[in-house]
Chain A
Amino acid sequence: MSVFDGLPVWIAVIVAICLVAGAAITFVGTVGLARFPTFYQRIHAPTLGTSFGAFFVIVGSMVFFTALEARPVIHEVLILVFVLITTPVTLMLLARAALYRDRAEGNDVGADMPAAENRSARSDVGDTDQTGL
């Protein structure tokens, strides 16, 4: 509690808004993870947390420690850069693995999606893509 006493009020307001916004965006993304019906819809939702959720929390942390220690503290940027670079890589790997498993089991991937009528035009592209796996 005594850590916060020397801070100006406007710094505290900025940090509070950033923290609550980041936590709320992450929570909304996780609600999407819990509630979407299929895996290919579910994989989109947590990226809210990895992009703007992490961004707001890290900006709040940077502003707070810069004001607390009276010097620029920007090492939280490491976490932001690392998360922003690695999340697309891991989720692409995971989505390709899930697609490979679904195709290997003969499930009709994407039959319930709105663009299902276009799949015949793209199926040959998908097949050559699968042989590359």
Chain B
Amino acid sequence: MSATILVIAILVSQVLLGGAMCLAGWRLLKGPRAQDRVLALDSLYLSGMLLLLTFGIGSGQTIYFEAALVIGLLSFVATAALAKFLMRGEVIE
């Protein structure tokens, strides 16, 4: 009973997060300007991180937690560096 509930819920949330990644990827490809693409990349990072957490619940192993943590760290660094680049034209002055 609990296995059925969890398998269905994990499937539904994986489909929703996959759809979120598809929409963010569409905005990443289409986005009229560079800042739209950076925002879509940030949203893509977040959806991928939550998808990895959901995947970790589905497999019952905590090893996916570290991958999600690394994705969260890289998301901050990537978006901050790209915003700095959009503002100044270079990352390290």
Contact = CB atoms under 8 A, between A and B. Distances in A.
Do they bind each other? yes
A67 to B, nearest CB: 10
Main secondary structure of the interface of A (DSSP, over half): helix
Interface residues of A, number: 59
Interface string A77-108: 01100110010011101101110110000000
A124 to B, nearest CB: 22
Interface string A43-69: 100100110011001101100110010
B16 A27 contact: yes
Interface of B: 1-3, 5-10, 12-14, 16-17, 19-21, 23-24, 26-27, 33, 35-36, 38-40, 42-43, 46-47, 49-50, 53-54, 56-57, 59-60, 62, 65, 68-69, 72-73, 75-76, 79-80, 82-84, 86-87
Interface of A: 1, 3-5, 7-9, 11-13, 15-17, 19-20, 22-24, 26-27, 29-31, 33-34, 39, 42-43, 46, 49-50, 53-54, 57-58, 60-61, 64-65, 68, 73, 75-76, 78-79, 82-83, 86, 89-91, 93-94, 96-98, 100-101, 133
10 contacts: A1-B3, A1-B7, A4-B6, A12-B6, A15-B6, A16-B8, A19-B10, A20-B12, A49-B46, A98-B33
